[in-house]
Structures are given as C-alpha cells and as structure tokens.
C-alpha cells in the first residue's frame, strides 16, 4: 500500500502543479512550494518531471526568477505508464473501500475518472485483480459493497442523471424505483446512497450493499435549493429505523460527551441545557436496547417507553443482587 500511496501522492502533486502554472503567468519557486506545502527542492524535481512528460515549462534564473508555461503552449495530459496507472487505480480502490487515504468520496471520483481512460489492457488487469481481491469484514457479519457498485453509484451522482434503482430493503423485499442521485456517504462502517425518490417526492437513504442494479435513464436532474445535508439524512435514518423498539433517554452529560458515548450514527441528539443531552435510539428488542444502555456506564434516565425503563431497572437490580450476595 505504501508504494500505491507514493505514486498517488506524486501524481496528485504534479496535477496540482500543472493547474497552478496554468492559472498565472509566472510563479517563483518559493510561491509554488508554499502553495503546494512542499519544499523548493520538491518543486524543482516536479518541474523536471513535467518537462520529461512533455510540458513546456520555462524558467528564469536568479532569486526573483520563476516558472511559467510557455505562451501558446497547449498543456498535454498527465502521462502514466501501464504500471503507474495500475498502481494508482489499485491504490484508489483500496482508499475508497478502507479509508486508508482519508477521502473516500474523492478517491471514488478519481477512480471513476481514471477507469474511463485506462487502456484496455490495464483495465482488464484491474478487473482481474478486482475478482481476486477479498476484503476482510470490518465487523462480524458486516456486509461488504462491491467496488463496481460503488463506482456505478458514484457515476450516477457525478452525471446528475435520473437513475432506475433495483433495491432490496432490510426485510428482503425487492423494488425498482426512479431516483435522482445526490451523494454517497460513508459512516465508517457502511456506504449509503442519498437520492430523491421521484415517485414519493422525498429524500431517501439507501444502503449501498443492498443496491442490486443502477441503470441511467438519460434524463438530466436539476435540484432546487435548499438541498439537504446528506450526512445528517444518513445519521437520522441509521439512528431511528427501521427498529422494533425506539427509546428516548436523557444523559446527564454535555452534547460533546454524549456523542462520544452514543455516536451520531446510532442516536439522534439534542441538547437539554448545557449539561444534559436527550437522545433517541433504536433497537431490535427491549432487552437488547436495555443491555446497550447499561453498557454505556453513563448517568442516564429513560424517558420513554416504560418497557425499556423497566428492563434497565431489572438488569440493574440483578447486578446489585449478585454483588450483595458476593459480599455476604
């Protein structure tokens, strides 16, 4: 992975350098180093590499000299050989699936662009590697998303084109619906596809691992303001449903501390004064939800429903009785 990161970082830096040279008549070496957050030595080495790749970069000597693209010169595309292109594609793929490079959405977008221009021989090699790769689950039983599905969803968001989505919900029910793609959201555990459901006229979140097919319709989409916060939509959907049991609890800690105990992807939070937080949280069973709340080891009070409060009290009494017996 280190080699992939090095190639990816160098290619991204060269693209950044070309874009800077293209938007201003001249740059000093120091200015470029500051903008790119690298050393002047790195700038000089990158300029030499651009010249090897066919970019016409002129330079002026002296302390106030600098670099510029020769007037009238057409900027050629960045050139990668087969091995470099394959290394970048694999690195981007792993970054998108694992978060190794930090920017999942950017990695997906870059991988999508790269795969569209890869030579056939390189694309076939990448496909062979995709078939051979096996990614270990992040958690027991956690479903994984195929890289191809993520690319299709990312492409749908980039195109701004209505799509026909074949989807299977949490109960296994299959449906086909027209959606207006908007964003992909990664929570650290799962990928979610945020889109507007055309028939229902409302924003929805779809788990990417349950998407079976994405088919473009050729119809352009124009969103009107205000647009929703995709991360907030996913957070709400993850925290409140679909669950058999929903509870409201009050934690006797500030919002920041409450979010460390119950993440935003697990519950919906609202401040109740400066020193308390009310959280809505869901679970599959009353006992399971009570067990989760008990494990938080945080002062809290169950506001609703009574069944969860009673289950939590019962668990507390059992623990107290067990310890009283042990002390006699």
Q: Phi/psi at 13 (nearest 5 deg)?
A: -65, -40
**Adjacent-strand bridge partners of 205:** 194
Question: What token pair was written down for 184?
Answer: 């992909």
- Helices 147-159 + 104-117 axis angle, to 10: 90
In tens, the pLDDT along 152-195 reads 888 788 778 899 999 998 778 899 999 999 988 877 667 889 99
Cα 161 to Cα 222: distance, rounded to the nearest angstrom: 9
% of the chain surpassing 70 pLDDT: 70
Fold adopted by 158-232: SH3 type barrels. (2.30.30)
Sort 194 into a burial class: Cβ within 10 Å, 0-12 / 13-18 / 19+: buried
Give the pLDDT confidence score for residue 328 in this predicted structure: 61
245-271 pLDDT, tens digit per residue, is 888 999 999 999 998 888 776 788 899
| Domain assignments of the chain as residue spans, ordered by start | 2-69, 82-132, 158-232, 243-326
What pLDDT sits at residue 101? 42
The strand pairing partners of 248, in sequence order, are: 280, 304
Beta partners for 300?
251
Q: Which pLDDT value is given to residue 311? A: 93
Contact 262, 279 (CB under 8 A): yes
Residue with the two structure tokens 């119809």: 219
CATH architecture of 243-326: 2-Layer Sandwich (3.30)
Question: Over 70: is that where the pLDDT of 117 sits?
Answer: no
2-69 against 158-232: fold identical: no
What is the pLDDT, as a whole number, of residue 100?
Answer: 44
CA distance linking residue 281 with residue 272, whole number of Å = 16
Distance CA 98, CA 51 (A): 35
Kind plus residue range of the DSSP H or E element containing 162: strand 161-168
* 283 φ, ψ (degrees, to nearest 5): -155, 165
- From CA 312, how far away is CA 292, in angstroms rounded? 9
Confidence of residue 128 (pLDDT cuts 50, 70, 90): low
Give me the residues paired with residue 277 across strands: 251, 271
Angle of helix 29-36 versus helix 2-23 axis, rounded to 10:
130
Q: How far is CA 77 from CA 18, 52, 92, 144, 281, in A?
A: 10, 13, 19, 35, 51
Helical H segments across 146-285, by residue range? 147-159, 230-240, 255-261
Query: Which fold is adopted by the domain 2-69?
Result: Arc Repressor Mutant, subunit A (1.10.10)
CA atoms of 203 and 226, how far apart (whole Å): 12
Q: Can you give the pLDDT at residue 244?
A: 76
For residues 323 and 64, the model is more confident at 323
């Amino acid at each position: 992975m280190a080699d992939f990161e090095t190639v990816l970082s160098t290619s991204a830096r060269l693209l950044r350098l070309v874009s800077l040279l293209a938007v201003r008549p001249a740059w000093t070496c120091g200015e470029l180093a500051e903008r790119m957050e690298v050393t002047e030595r790195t700038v000089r080495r990158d300029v030499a590499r651009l010249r090897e790749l066919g970019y016409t970069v002129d330079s002026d000597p002296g302390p106030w000299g600098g670099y510029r693209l020769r007037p009238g010169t057409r900027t050629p595309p960045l050139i990668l050989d087969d091995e470099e292109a394959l290394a970048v594609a694999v690195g981007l793929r792993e970054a998108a699936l694992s978060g190794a490079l930090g920017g999942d959405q950017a990695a997906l977008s870059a991988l999508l662009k790269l795969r569209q221009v890869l030579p056939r021989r390189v694309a076939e090699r990448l496909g062979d590697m995709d078939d051979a790769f096996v990614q270990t689950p992040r958690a027991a039983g956690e479903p994984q998303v195929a890289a191809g599905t993520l690319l299709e969803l990312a492409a749908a968001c980039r195109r701004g084109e209505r799509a026909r989505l074949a989807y299977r919900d949490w109960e296994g029910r299959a449906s086909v619906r027209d959606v207006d793609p908007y964003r992909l959201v990664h929570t650290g555990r799962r990928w979610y596809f945020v889109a507007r459901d055309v028939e229902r006229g409302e924003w929805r979140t779809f788990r990417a691992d349950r998407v079976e097919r994405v088919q473009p319709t050729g119809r352009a989409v124009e969103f009107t303001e205000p647009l929703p916060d995709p991360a907030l939509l996913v957070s709400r959907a993850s925290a409140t449903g679909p669950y058999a049991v929903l509870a409201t609890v009050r934690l006797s800690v500030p919002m920041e501390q409450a979010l460390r105990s119950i993440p935003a992807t697990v519950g919906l939070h609202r401040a109740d004064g400066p020193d308390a937080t009310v959280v809505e949280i869901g679970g599959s069973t009353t006992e399971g939800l009570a067990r989760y709340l008990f494990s938080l080891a945080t002062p809290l009070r169950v506001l609703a429903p009574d069944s969860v409060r009673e289950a939590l009290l019962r668990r507390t009494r059992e623990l107290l009785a067990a310890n009283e017996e042990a002390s006699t």
